[in-house]
Amino acid sequence: MTTTTGSGLAAFAALLADETRATFCLALLDGRAWTSGELARYAKVAPSTASEHLGKLVAGGLLSEERQGRHRYVRLADAGAAHLVEELAARTAPAPPRTLRAASAGSAMARGRTCYDHLAGRLGIAVTDAMTLRGLLTQDAGFALTREGVRWYRELGLALDHRGRRPLVRSCLDWTERRPHLAGVAGAVLCAHALDAEWCVRIGSERAVRVTPAGEEALSELLGIEKASLR
């Protein structure tokens, strides 16, 4: 049996104790794979600096990488790494926007976004609350789907395959709403369906999503969410 030492935990925590590395991890919460150059431009650092920081994040297990030709792609290592970053972000005080563009982007992110591969922001909370109110999800002792919830997914044609280590249902603390939203396999499957069915569309270069008129109709019919609350 192996145990974590204080020095090991401190070394892991140090991976996010750098603004550039933390910025990279927050950007990668969109669930996509980014090149080193894209992250360098996003964080406004030199390519050599980005490469050095990415090497540390990969070696520390927070990121995974793959190479295609001349390009090096990185992404968050897994859902657990994404959960850790989002949870830590939820425990920090939000910085006030410095520009009108930043304020608009922040407002869009708070309204609705993806958190790695599930819905977050007011949209994610609205879906979570509606599922709970309708008896599809229980929050009594942690998040869990009810029998009605499993049937609801099945009727939508959504497969809840959780044979791996990832939990079927998990709560994730929302960093803008400061409340838990639905994550795990169930959250990921629902988010993927919402995007595939174009209930939501991505907007801008951030993780923000916008609910479409078709999405308003679907979420209103399936979960009883008021359309006005989705805008």
Domains of the chain: 9-77 (1.10.10.10), 96-230 (no CATH)
Q: What's residue 102's pLDDT?
A: 62
User: Closest Cα partner for 207 from 22, 30, 33, 43?
Assistant: 30
CB-based contact 212:195 (threshold 8 Å):
no
Cβ atoms < 10 Å from Cβ of 14: 12
How far, in Å, CA of 108 to CA of 201, rounded?
A: 12
Instruction: Report pLDDT digits (tens) over 152-204.
Output: 999 999 999 876 778 899 998 888 888 999 999 999 999 999 999 999 999 87
Q: What's residue 1's pLDDT?
A: 46
Tokens coding 59:
């070696």
pTM of the complete model? 0.75
Instruction: Report pLDDT digits (tens) over 54-93.
Output: 999 999 999 999 888 777 899 999 888 888 888 888 787 6
Higher pLDDT, 3 or 191: 191
In sequence order, the β-bridge partners of residue 73 are 35, 66
